[in-house]
Chains A and B, each alone.
Chain A
Amino acid sequence: AQSVTQPDIHITVSEGASLELRCNYSYGATPYLFWYVQSPGQGLQLLLKYFSGDTLVQGIKGFEAEFKRSQSSFNLRKPSVHWSDAAEYFCAVGVDGGSNYKLTFGKGTLLTVNP
């Protein structure tokens, strides 16, 4: 069965600093990979996704992620964090479920941004 591991439960960075959130997946085939962000009490917003092609994916809000098959990783990065980036971040893998695919989420990483 597929699984997603986000090793860091909570990360704190200073505003303007760079950010990298780690994500490792376990899946037998080439996965569909996603990063979502969730503000408190809200739904999830898609930051970026990888299906195929270029392994460096650009997303919204200045985020990017790199798919590394050899490391089974899909880490999220941002060169300069803004206070508004404080939120919960979820990595997910999409698994083919026939006519659609199902998402399996990691446990999330809570990002705190210090002024």
Chain B
Amino acid sequence: GAVVSQHPSWVICKSGTSVKIECRSLDFQATTMFWYRQFPKQSLMLMATSNEGSKATYEQGVEKDKFLINHASLTLSTLTVTSAHPEDSSFYICSASQDTYGYTFGSGTRLTVV
């Protein structure tokens, strides 16, 4: 079945630094990937849609300069949290679609900014 790998699983960084999260589709090509943010005991909020070879589409209220998304190939999308602050601490999850009928999710990245 379709597998999406997300790395790292958890990361701790200092306030003001940047962190990159990778999302890879291991056994299929994904022209579109999605990035979500999940607060503790909350639902998933869509942050942006990442399209291979073009700019990401951000949801309303998401700072595109803080959350940089790059989808350079059909199997890799990256989310970079720039100048991270404690309020950026969260669980970030990516998903990718092999076809029209379903999305596969990565295992998530726990980001803690200290």
Q: Which residues of A contact B (CB under 8 A)?
A: 34, 36, 41-46, 49, 51, 90, 97, 99-108
Q: What is the number of residues of chain B that contact chain A, defined by CB distance less than 8 Å?
A: 24
Contact between chains at B105 and A45 (CB < 8 Å)? yes
Q: How far is the CB of A46 from chain B (nearest CB, A)?
A: 6
Q: Which residues of B contact A (CB under 8 A)?
A: 4, 6, 32, 34, 41-44, 46, 49, 91, 93, 95, 97, 100-108, 110
Given contact pairs A46-B102, A102-B46, A108-B42, enumerate 12 new A-B contacts (beta carbons under 8 Å): A36-B105, A42-B108, A43-B106, A44-B44, A44-B105, A49-B101, A90-B43, A100-B32, A103-B34, A103-B95, A103-B103, A105-B43
Q: Is the interface of A mostly helix, strand, loop or mixed?
A: strand
Q: How far is the CB of B110 from chain A (nearest CB, A)?
A: 7
Q: How far is the CA of A104 from the CA of B34 in the complex (A)?
A: 12
For residue B41, which residues in chain A have a CB less than 8 angstroms away from its CB? 108
Contact between chains at A44 and B93 (CB < 8 Å)? yes
